[in-house]
Structure 1
Amino acid sequence: MWIGGPPGAGKSTVARLITRRRGLRWYQADTRTWEHRDRALAARHPEAVRFEQLSPEQRWSAPDDALLAMSLHRERGPMIADDVRALPDRPATVVEGTPVVPAVVGRDEPSVWLLPAPGLQRRRLSRRGPHPAGTLRLYELLADKIEADANAHGATVLRIHEKTTVAQAVAAVEEIFADALAACPAATTAAERRALLRDANRAVVDQHLAFFARPWSTGDPAAAVVDFACECGAPDCLADVPLAVTAHPSGPGGPPLLAAGHRAPA
């Protein structure tokens, strides 16, 4: 199952809730950003090379066409498809991300693109904190590009309005995916759910560590606090645990990360 849409559309929130409630794997494209950029660098992709050579200030002041090209939006779609093909068939995977494009989704695979109403995207992103002006400009360019691609391919779209609640968005996506959700394999034990949650959390750790390892990056991963999923594995648990990236017990033998008062049942 595939969920696309621009930043600020609510994709991650919807995918997170569906996968945690139903015991499915969550492939979050954001967590593969730097891995995909490294693949493009290894292939000497000119826009990937250019991105790394420029300072952040130079990048975000680039013209619109250069911003879009350096985002690798078109190139990352096939990389995502390759990643997904390499995943186990069980449990089923919900693939979510901005570079999820109709061209890489199979004809018979359930998919939807979340499209925020004009102005809603910018308001949502502004609530996340300050962004360089070029970042917001890129996100708006991506919104236009994604909507045009979805329309050109006759893809299923879900319009997200100011009054659309999270519950309404989740219900609408679950209705679109109803047949697939009814038939797909899911984790059935607490241990299987914990493994899925640990994998998703580990991907977030890897994402942040890869960012801070870039030669142009500033900051300290020990000071970067992220909301990780509680790894108790209870079917009704939607709790998050705010924790520094470097403090997550992400090793294969590490204890599960638990929200206050939660325990890891057998």
Structure 2
Amino acid sequence: MIELYNFFVEPFTYPFMQRALVMGLTIGIVCAFLSCFLVLKGWALMGDAISHAVLPGIILSTLINMPIIIGAFIAGFITTILIAYIKSSTRLKEDSVVGIVFSFFFALGLFLFAFIETQLHLTHILFGNILGVDADNMLKDIIILFCVFLLLLVKSKDLILFCFDSIHLKMLGKSTRLYHYFLLLVLCLVIVISIQAVGILFVVALLIIPGMFGFIIVKRFEQMVFLSIIFSVMTIILGILLSFHLDVATAPLIVVFQSIGILIALLCKKERYRERSK
């Protein structure tokens, strides 16, 4: 019993671990919910693009003494507008446009980081620092993410129609363009908030893998959301706990567990198909 207590409970007696757990679970729940819409809409690469494209905004915001969150959000918003403009004015497919734009912005961010002196650490930007979350910033971020979650919940029926049947949404007299940009703006906001804790490179995984896990296992959207959130919560708790004991980076460990979960889900689904085919 003492060993179990020391392994599971004792780490969370430290305030920095408590903050990491609360912030991690909040990010995980919101990202899992949002990931269900992204997976159904086929926007997995869009999250990758925006997460990489905010780097120039982060660097430039420190240069002009602007809050990092505002600079990152502006950069992400410009990215979404640019992707939409190039896609509508050329014959290029969306995945090609997204690849071009996020590569350019990410390279620009690395270029600016090399020439502009800031107090930022590139490793914290890329990989996050969830164990070093500040209490004041955490409260502000949790409030924003909670509002985003409620907004997605209220608009979930319309967003499901937008992902599955945009023509039906038009017939109801609602603008598909409006929901297109609404989902992009929500995605951008969630990425900007999450980057401070899990970093640019790993927020993409949190926005894709939970939704994919739910999509593989179940067929109904409500079940998909529930399963995705449970999966995200479990892997985040496990990742934070083991990162404390193993003294390794938290975000990569969380993504490793989520990736293992996807592989297990795929193997289970394959085995299920084999049993049905017999």
Which TM bucket (shorter chain)? 0.3 to 0.5
**TM-score, length basis structure 1:** 0.33
**TM-score, length basis structure 2:** 0.32
Structure with greater contact order relative to length (CA < 8 Å, sep ≥ 6): 2
Relative to its length, the structure with more helix (as a share) is 2
Relative to its length, the structure with more strand (as a share) is 1
